[in-house]
Amino acid sequence: PSAVKLSEYRVPDFLIDHVEMDVVLDGPATRVSARMSLRRNLQGRPDAPLILDGDDLRLSGPLEIDGRALPLSDYSVAAQSLVIPAPPEGPFELHLVTALDPAANTKLMGLYRSSGTYCTQCEAEGFRRITYFLDRPDVLATYRVRIEADRAEAPILLSNGNPESAGSIEGTDRHFAVWHDPFPKPSYLFALVGGDLAQLKDSFRTMSGRDVELGIYVEHGKQDRAGYAMDALKRSMRWDEEKFGREYDLDVFNIVAVSDFNMGAMENKGLNVFNDKYVLASSDTATDADYSGIEAVIAHEYFHNWTGNRITCRDWFQLCLKEGLTVFRDQEFTADMRSRPVERISDVRGLRAVQFMEDAGPFAHPVRPESYREINNFYTATVYEKGAEVIRMLKTLIGAESFRKGMDLYFERHDGQAATIEQFIACFSEASGRNLDQFRLWYSQAGTPTVRAKTSWDEAGGTFTLELEQAVPPTPGQDTKKPMVIPLAYRLFGENGTPLSVENSSGDGELIVLSDAHSRIDWKGLPKRPVLSLNRGFSAAINLQTDLPEADRLFLARHDDDAFNRWQVLQTATTEVLIKSVHALRSTEPMPDDAPQIEAFAAALAHTALDPALLAQLLTLPSEADLAREIGRDVDPDAIYNARLRLKQSLLAALEDDLRARYEATSVPAPYVPDAAGAGRRALRTVLLDLLTARRDERSAHIAYAQFVSADNQTDRIGALAVLSQIESRLREDALDAFASRFAGDGLVLDKWFALQASIPEAGTLERVQRLMQHPDFSLSNPNRVRSLIGGFASGNPTQFTRPDGQGFAFLADNVVQLDRMNPQVAARLLGAFRTWRALEPVRRAEAEKALRKIAESGSLSADVNDLVSRALT
């Protein structure tokens, strides 16, 4: 398909104000009748034909306009559209019926069946797989939906909005329900569910005293695993009232969990549909990470009710308007519910591991892209996570008060509209009185800016100087870049760690706003050279290169009152040592001295008052992906793996007693509670276990095995199994077998088991993964299974995926081609593993290229896969 361009946006020529749908769920004979109230858009082209979008549709019966059948000569139906060249001039009602077979819909877009339940997914362009429509986000309509189905097969019938009526169909085993959504919405927010599901009920009283009925629908027998999701939902509803003044607006709010789902969840108005992974949890089946994932995704989808649904996007280029903003909101929610510094560290870890990688490779694109061939490929870390960072920087720049005023103005001014980034930013410009034109470059320039910071000290004049230099690297289609607005939060420390309150020459409190390519800041009248803590809390999403002397780093590691930067200095120092080790392992250079790392880790371990969650972060080495990104070119994943293992072994050799003592102290015989305190303690336990078993010998296997067998919750069990799976040992196989028999048939739990095995850094792993694809609980048609096993191998096993013989790449290529025939979205997502292929050393790079070319040449690819492969190769 040809590219869609932001610069070519045109308002719709027609509008649809209201839709009456009648959906008869009847297996392969399912029918959808749609009556649309249409009118010409006075802002559109006066003589334009009516062109409705369609995808893989079959019309059933004639088209009717205002109750009269339209002659066949008055319209045409093509693969992707239905065209009426000369529709009536005034408002009219168009009626059409489509015939669907939901069970045959393997793309999981439009109306499909998941374990027998009828459900829909319409974002971004799935509604056109249900009926012909103006399937674009700037066409907003109200909907009334009647659903009819066999009562035994589908006792639960749900759609958007409020329930209006329900009843039996006389003389049959069938029944119906009618739903009405009074809020105009784009078609991508349409949803419908029909199935035999169990319901967890609750209610919520809103800030203005209205009672909202809450329902979470899951497979029968799983309702006792939905309690945490319900609790997270109620906390999200309260938080949005308290922090953003946003109240829920319908009488009901329903969530349905399904097991076959392309992404995490979907924010359909009043009827969120979720991947069951983000709803179902019990201490025996879910880890702390699963619980916090549920909390975050429930909150995220709920927050979309205002940022996405009440105010939606004018077009798909504005995707970050809803996604970046909503990720920012869910991150803030998690920070308030759990630990703010720990949340920030883990968000930044994620950002660097995925988004910074994306920004540095062939898939780099601006937060607001300017063209796309397949919109599904733009649900990326750049749009979501960098999009959230841009909002965070905006808030830092204008201050919390102006930010809140800007949000209030945005809600007031654009409620009920399909908006743009320009309109959004204008609200903050007005609220703060600041010109944000240059700030908008964050939306249009791809690439992660690098900021170089150089400090100097003039003893005689008592002046401390900081020189800053920024540059944004070239990215596909953007060779030259302009300087960005970069908000750098900072603090100066004097002796003993006391913060200094001295104005800098740019006068902005403890914030430097860098907007030129170069700039210089002076602090005058200081008695002694201060220590600078820069980019506190990761205030700007940049690569910061500083010239901090070793003494300053040690000082900050001890005294910085910003926990994020305390973590950052240690990460930076550890990264440097590891990179030196990587070079040494690949050459005849001597191995670096890791004594400073040992000293820093010892100091952290000795700090008994430290939050265990924070200590876990401090003791976690930079990941293999982090190191690959920092190295940037000629990457050898084996050397990276060995450098990390070597450092863990040095730490163990030097600190074994301390590590063991801390490890033993994390074992508390209290019942499992999925709260932040417990999660922090358990995270620390697994990090310590990983270090304690770094020798990877039989004794190490026994230590991990002991935790595995004694665990009374899934976090400790999986933590132990993850560590044990890295050790070649009979105990590993015993533990894996025990886990598989205990959780046989429970796909969600086995996903962890698949992913762990896929990540084993051994030569036999590829064969293991191929074997596991034959496992009775694996299925290529279930996206969660594919992501854990195939995705776990491609994205979670750097040494084996990039095997120098190319077998890892070839395996992924074959599976992408096969999967593409079934589910292009899931197939294309797997290709994310190729985002860094050009940075590999030459042998692996050549093999990666061979695999990509093989996919490209395999013929009849979907638009999704075709787009990514061709971008990967250019």
Catalytic residues: 301
Taking CB under 6 A as the rule, does residue 267 contact ligand HT7? yes
CA dist 654 → 39, 326, 749 (Å): 76, 45, 37
Whole-number minimum distance, CB 280 to ligand HT7, in Å? Answer: 17
Q: Residue 266: which of Zn ion, ligand HT7, none does it interact with, CB under 5 to 8 A by kind?
A: ligand HT7
Count CA within 13 A, CB hemisphere, residue 394: 34
Taking CB under 6 A as the rule, does residue 187 contact ligand HT7? no
Whole-number minimum distance, CB 265 to ligand HT7, in Å? Answer: 6
Whole-number minimum distance, CB 188 to ligand HT7, in Å? Answer: 8
- Short-list 844, 850, 350, CA closest to 637: 844
Taking CB under 6 A as the rule, does residue 269 contact ligand HT7? no
Q: Residue 823: which of ligand HT7, Zn ion, none does it interact with, CB under 5 to 8 A by kind?
A: none
CA 310 to chain centre: 22
> Using CA atoms, how far apart are residues 533 and 324, in angstroms rounded to an integer?
27
Whole-number minimum distance, CB 383 to ligand HT7, in Å? Answer: 9
Whole-number minimum distance, CB 384 to ligand HT7, in Å? Answer: 7
C-beta of 385 vs 638, nearer to ligand HT7? 385
Q: Would you state the structure tokens that stand for residue 144, as one six-digit string? A: 């009334």
By CB under 6 A, how many residues form the interface with ligand HT7? 13
> Using CA atoms, how far apart are residues 229 and 278, in angstroms rounded to an integer?
8
Taking CB under 6 A as the criterion, the residue among 114, 121, 282, 305 binding ligand HT7 is 121
> Using CA atoms, how far apart are residues 720 and 708, in angstroms rounded to an integer?
5
Q: Residue 317: which of ligand HT7, Zn ion, none does it interact with, CB under 5 to 8 A by kind?
A: none
Q: State the DSSP code for 575.
A: H
CB 120 within 8 A of CB 81: no
> Using CA atoms, how far apart are residues 135 and 124, in angstroms rounded to an integer?
9
> Using CA atoms, how far apart are residues 301 and 280, in angstroms rounded to an integer?
16
> Using CA atoms, how far apart are residues 790 and 50, in angstroms rounded to an integer?
44
Sole residue written with tokens 């649809």? 16
CA 849 to chain centre: 27
Contact positions vs Zn ion (CB under 5 A): 323, 326
Whole-number minimum distance, CB 273 to Zn ion, in Å? Answer: 13
Q: What's the sign of the alpha-carbon dihedral 863, 323, 289, 191?
A: negative
Whole-number minimum distance, CB 868 to ligand HT7, in Å? Answer: 15
Q: Residue 379: which of Zn ion, ligand HT7, none does it interact with, CB under 5 to 8 A by kind?
A: ligand HT7
**What string marks each residue from 71 to 110 as x (binds ligand HT7 by CB under 6 A) or -?**
----------------------------------------
Instruction: Tell me the residue nearest to ligand HT7 as measured from the CB.
Output: 263
Taking CB under 6 A as the criterion, the residue among 75, 217, 317, 379 binding ligand HT7 is 379
> Which residues lie across from 488 on neighbouring strands?
512
Taking CB under 6 A as the rule, does residue 263 contact ligand HT7? yes
Taking CB under 6 A as the rule, does residue 301 contact ligand HT7? yes
Q: Which stretch binds ligand HT7 (CB under 6 A): 35-43, 90-98, 99-107, 261-269?
A: 261-269
Taking CB under 6 A as the rule, does residue 333 contact ligand HT7? no
Sole residue written with tokens 């995270």? 683
C-beta of 300 vs 732, nearer to Zn ion? 300
C-beta of 374 vs 847, nearer to ligand HT7? 374
Q: Is 710 exposed, middle or buried (0-12, 13-18, 19+ CB in 10 A)?
A: exposed
Please provide residue 523's backbone torsions phi and psi, each rounded to the nearest 5 degrees.
-115, 125
Q: Residue 644: which of Zn ion, ligand HT7, none does it interact with, CB under 5 to 8 A by kind?
A: none
Q: Which stretch binds ligand HT7 (CB under 6 A): 223-231, 263-271, 484-492, 692-700?
A: 263-271
Whole-number minimum distance, CB 304 to Zn ion, in Å? Answer: 6
C-beta of 315 vs 430, nearer to Zn ion? 315
C-beta of 262 vs 784, nearer to ligand HT7? 262
Taking CB under 6 A as the criterion, the residue among 185, 300, 310, 338 binding ligand HT7 is 300
Taking CB under 6 A as the rule, does residue 262 contact ligand HT7? yes
Please provide residue 350's backbone torsions phi and psi, each rounded to the nearest 5 degrees.
-65, -45
Q: What's the sign of the alpha-carbon dihedral 428, 430, 436, 440?
A: positive
Max Cα-Cα span within the chain: 98
Taking CB under 6 A as the rule, does residue 299 contact ligand HT7? no
> Which residues lie across from 307 on neighbouring strands?
311
- Short-list 451, 436, 579, 458, CA closest to 527: 458
Whole-number minimum distance, CB 319 to Zn ion, in Å? Answer: 9
> Which residues, other chains included, contact 805 with Cβ-Cβ below 8 Å and sequence gap of 6+?
847
Q: Residue 262: which of ligand HT7, Zn ion, none does it interact with, CB under 5 to 8 A by kind?
A: ligand HT7
Q: Which stretch binds ligand HT7 (CB under 6 A): 82-90, 116-124, 557-565, 637-645?
A: 116-124
Taking CB under 6 A as the rule, does residue 693 contact ligand HT7? no
CA 373 to chain centre: 21
- Short-list 388, 421, 423, 400, CA closest to 243: 400
Q: Residue 581: which of Zn ion, ligand HT7, none does it interact with, CB under 5 to 8 A by kind?
A: none
C-beta of 447 vs 832, nearer to Zn ion? 832
Q: Residue 121: which of Zn ion, ligand HT7, none does it interact with, CB under 5 to 8 A by kind?
A: ligand HT7
- Short-list 408, 369, 411, 406, CA closest to 391: 406
Sole residue written with tokens 């303690």? 681
C-beta of 273 vs 722, nearer to ligand HT7? 273
> Using CA atoms, how far apart are residues 760 and 788, in angstroms rounded to an integer?
13
Taking CB under 6 A as the criterion, the residue among 288, 323, 330, 820 binding ligand HT7 is 323
> Using CA atoms, how far apart are residues 259 and 277, in angstroms rounded to an integer?
8
Q: State the DSSP code for 353.
A: I
Q: Which stretch binds ligand HT7 (CB under 6 A): 11-19, 144-152, 300-308, 751-759?
A: 300-308
> Which residues lie across from 371 on neighbouring strands?
5
Taking CB under 6 A as the criterion, the residue among 21, 124, 192, 250 binding ligand HT7 is 124
Q: Which stretch binds ligand HT7 (CB under 6 A): 166-174, 296-304, 416-424, 458-466?
A: 296-304
C-beta of 275 vs 432, nearer to ligand HT7? 275
> Which residues, other chains included, contact 412 with Cβ-Cβ below 8 Å and sequence gap of 6+?
none
Q: Would you state the structure tokens that stand for residue 201, as one six-digit string? A: 């009920």
C-beta of 16 vs 383, nearer to ligand HT7? 383
> Using CA atoms, how far apart are residues 285 and 274, in angstroms rounded to an integer?
18
Instruction: Please report, as ranges, the residues that interact with ligand HT7 according to CB under 6 A.
Output: 121, 123-124, 262-263, 265-267, 300-301, 304, 323, 379
